[in-house]
Amino acid sequence: MEELFRYFVVFAILAAPTYAIAASGLVVTYTTTGIFNFAHGAIGMIIAFCYWQITSSAAWDLPVPIGLVLCLLVIAPALGWLLDRLLMRRLAGASTITTIVATIGLLFALVSLADLIWPSGTGVRSVEKLFAGSTFEVVGVTVEYHDAVALGAAIAVAVGLRALLFGTRLGTAMRAVVDSRELAALNGADPNRVSSVAWMLGCSLAGLAGILLAPDLTLTSIALTLVVIQAYAVAMVGRLRSLPLTFLGALILAEVNSLFDYIPLKVELSGTVDQAFSDLGSATPILMLLVVLVVMRQDKAALRPENIRFRVPRPSMSRVAATMGGLIAVCALISVTDIVSANTVDELGKGLALGIVILSLVLLTGWAGQVSLAQLALSGIAALAVWKMGPYGLLVGVVVTAVVGAVVALPALRMRSLYLALTTMAFALLLERVVYGNNTLFPEFLPFATGSASAERFALIESDEAFFVFLAVVFGAVALGLTAIRNGHFGRRLAAMKDSPSACATLGLDLTVTKLQVFALSAAIAGLGGGLLAMWKSSSVGLTDYALLEGGALAGLPLVLVAVIGGITSVTGALLGAVLLVGMPMFGRWYGALRTPMSLAPGLAGIGLAQNPDGVVRQVGEAIEEARARADVVAEPFETPETLGTDGRIGAADASRLDDELGLSWGR
């Protein structure tokens, strides 16, 4: 009985505050600006690093109170203000996909930044708990001052936010802005000021959570960034809106964690079951996020058109065929000559395989308007199949990936973009942690988890040279196939689904089937890419190749980023995205001076280009079209689908603005 009390009352109450603080920051920024900040954890991470820098005896060794004041009252608000001015304010009214990509870009930029300033190879950093080690006792339980401070902080945050939102003019404005920015502005609220305050507050709360969480983790950029999944799960309990429910969510998560700690103590579990149980326990936030997302009642107005604003070009079959023919020719040339070093060919091959995964995003996100952050994780299924079953396992892998893709889509059928993104992200993490990861549930996958799995190639094309060309051929075939689909009946159905669900209904089109089909097809294509990636690498295949964020350049979130940067609405854009994906780190390696900008580039580009999610290919296409329109008076806008659907309407001012953004986002 006393033990029950200890686990489910004391421990839970002491664990909940950090979750609550992290999640309330997320809720404050989401409700006042409509932007779900995927980088919330990354911001907390940066602030925690700053705190380490200021207070650690290995760094500046200043007193803790100075560190806290500097971090929470100076650095974090300054960062929030800056983010608001540079990024968030410009995202007001943007499509959900845009905000997702932009904040993921921010996440990635912050992680790269932390790795630059505090390289992971330079020793283990640890943040000390507040009042290091001091404890006191409550009803027979030893409590650390650190945890008591966290509890106090959470209560202060709750009371403070309540007072701010309901007791001040600014708070009223913050709540009003949620409902209608314009209306609030008409009534004297200053949306820009509200937005600034929200982001400053959000960053401080993220920082506080980061500092409180850091002692329990080794201070690495990724670990702290992903801890925010807990905040996602908790905030989702309050449907991203209600602060009281968010605090309740924090308590629920803490209780669930206690449950996973408590059961093994009480129930005699055999070794492997025990291990499996504790592995599952480490995934509780992800499980909770999934459960909450799936169970939670979605917005009733599922037919309300969402803001998915980007123009989708109408690809021309002959243009795509020519491009892909050129690609195959170049790849053939590379493979028969020595003009490119073996290392570079190795990277390019990875690019082609990952390019196929990006193509799956062109279909799913670009054309059907459905967001997925799980494509790369899904593609790992096919890699497992190839590893376990040999080259012809690829077929099995593709089929299984398609089925899993459709299953993931099932709860997502009526979800809006943001929830879809979160669900697919949670699913990717679940695959990563529980299935692929070093896990006793699937002990046979251990070599995959440690990155030592292998994959055989088809007998006929076993050599690197032949397989490289084969990759290019497959990429070209998929690109052509997708183009045919885009220009056919299914493509029209996808466009219709993206552009107007209501009109679809009045044409008798039931979107359920279409959505399942596109998720399955897209997953199958991703699986093809993932399986081929494994075959191309042929050895040391494993989790890091298919992880969401871990593992450097070849990872899920950057994949989505470069897909969008390249241009998520066209197959040519996917090719460019693939080139960027492998090209940027390569440039960094070749030219030392470029290493810093290149490691920051994906994140910065994601932030910058998110404001015009049509991607580079379209921007370049528009610039060319603009130039052509100026040079050539006889423009035939309707007869030139090759111009990626532009109609020459974009003004000179627009074009130069786009160019500016392009320049800015690349950090020149």
Nearest distance from residue 301's CB to another protein, in Å?
Answer: 10
Which span (227-235, 239-247, 310-318, 341-349) binds another protein, by CB under 8 A? 310-318
Token couple for 627:
């130039």
Pick the closer one to another protein by CB: 498 or 515. Answer: 498
DSSP H or E segment with residue 479: helix 464-486
Which span (28-36, 98-106, 201-209, 306-314) binds another protein, by CB under 8 A? 306-314
Nearest distance from residue 570's CB to another protein, in Å?
Answer: 12
Which span (55-63, 70-78, 132-140, 486-494) binds another protein, by CB under 8 A? 486-494
Pick the closer one to another protein by CB: 558 or 621. Answer: 621
Pick the closer one to another protein by CB: 57 or 506. Answer: 506
Rounded (10°) angle between helices 169-179 and 12-33: 70
> For residue 643, how far is the Cα from the chain centroid?
31
Of 647, 650, 657, 666, which one interacts with another protein (CB under 8 A)? 647
Residue 170, phi then psi, degrees to nearest 5: -60, -40
C-alpha separations of 491 from 368, 479, 483, 568, 646 in Å: 8, 14, 9, 15, 19
Residue 220, phi then psi, degrees to nearest 5: -125, 155
- Name the residue with tokens 């006042």: 32
Contacts of 162 by beta carbon, 8 Å cutoff, 6+ apart: 243
Residue 305 interacts with another protein (CB under 8 A)?
yes
* 544, 550 contact by CB (below 8 A): yes
Pick the closer one to another protein by CB: 73 or 302. Answer: 302
Residue 649 interacts with another protein (CB under 8 A)?
yes
Nearest distance from residue 569's CB to another protein, in Å?
Answer: 9
Contacts of 281 by beta carbon, 8 Å cutoff, 6+ apart: 257, 260, 261
> For residue 271, how far is the Cα from the chain centroid?
35
Q: Which of residues 487-546 bind another protein (CB under 8 A)?
A: 489, 492-493, 495-496, 498-500, 502-510
Pick the closer one to another protein by CB: 115 or 647. Answer: 647
Pick the closer one to another protein by CB: 180 or 450. Answer: 180
CA distance between the termini of the chain: 64
* 585, 627 contact by CB (below 8 A): no
Of 639, 651, 653, 668, which one interacts with another protein (CB under 8 A)? 639
Which span (184-192, 288-296, 307-315, 527-535) binds another protein, by CB under 8 A? 307-315
Residue 424, phi then psi, degrees to nearest 5: -65, -35
Give the whole-angstrom CA distance, residue 53 versus residue 66.
Answer: 12
Q: Which of residues 323-352 bind another protein (CB under 8 A)?
A: none
Residue 317 interacts with another protein (CB under 8 A)?
no
Give the whole-angstrom CA distance, residue 436 versus residue 433.
Answer: 6
Pick the closer one to another protein by CB: 251 or 644. Answer: 644
Size of the site for another protein (CB under 8 A): 27
Nearest distance from residue 492's CB to another protein, in Å?
Answer: 4
Give the whole-angstrom CA distance, residue 352 versus residue 575.
Answer: 8
Long-range contacts of the stretch 287-291 (C-beta < 8 A, 24+): 287/430, 288/233, 288/252, 288/253, 288/256, 289/229, 289/232, 289/233, 289/236, 289/422, 289/426, 290/423, 290/426, 290/427, 290/430
Nearest distance from residue 316's CB to another protein, in Å?
Answer: 13
Which span (75-83, 203-211, 303-311, 408-416) binds another protein, by CB under 8 A? 303-311
Pick the closer one to another protein by CB: 448 or 490. Answer: 490
Pick the closer one to another protein by CB: 179 or 268. Answer: 179
Nearest distance from residue 498's CB to another protein, in Å?
Answer: 7
Question: Per-residue x/- marks for another protein, 69-98, CB under 8 A?
Answer: ------------------------------
Give the whole-angstrom CA distance, residue 523 versus residue 595.
Answer: 33
The SS3 assignment for 138 reads strand
Residue 179 interacts with another protein (CB under 8 A)?
no
Token couple for 655:
């074009």
Burial class of residue 444 (count of CB atoms within 10 Å of its CB; 0-12, 13-18, 19+): exposed
Pick the closer one to another protein by CB: 569 or 599. Answer: 569
Nearest distance from residue 31's CB to another protein, in Å?
Answer: 20
Nearest distance from residue 628's CB to another protein, in Å?
Answer: 18
CA angle 298–300–305, rounded 5-degree value: 100
Token couple for 638:
């309707």
Give the whole-angstrom CA distance, residue 256 versus residue 242.
Answer: 21
Nearest distance from residue 27's CB to another protein, in Å?
Answer: 24
Pick the closer one to another protein by CB: 312 or 434. Answer: 312
Of 57, 124, 638, 668, which one interacts with another protein (CB under 8 A)? 638
- Name the residue with tokens 């945890």: 147
Pick the closer one to another protein by CB: 389 or 495. Answer: 495
Q: Which of residues 567-586 bind another protein (CB under 8 A)?
A: none
Nearest partner of 534 among 474, 448, 469, 443, judged by Cα: 448
Residue 634 interacts with another protein (CB under 8 A)?
no
> Dihedral of the CA atoms 168, 38, 210, 112 (nearest 10)?
-130
Nearest distance from residue 655's CB to another protein, in Å?
Answer: 18
Of 209, 312, 402, 471, which one interacts with another protein (CB under 8 A)? 312
Pick the closer one to another protein by CB: 89 or 239. Answer: 239
Which span (66-74, 276-284, 335-343, 637-645) binds another protein, by CB under 8 A? 637-645
Give the whole-angstrom CA distance, residue 113 versus residue 125.
Answer: 16
Nearest distance from residue 642's CB to another protein, in Å?
Answer: 13
Nearest distance from residue 508's CB to another protein, in Å?
Answer: 4
Nearest distance from residue 568's CB to another protein, in Å?
Answer: 13
Nearest distance from residue 578's CB to another protein, in Å?
Answer: 24
Number of H helices and E strands in the chain, helices first, is: 30, 2
Nearest distance from residue 614's CB to another protein, in Å?
Answer: 11
Binding footprint of another protein on the chain (CB under 8 A): 303, 305, 311-312, 314, 489, 492-493, 495-496, 498-500, 502-510, 638-639, 645, 647, 649
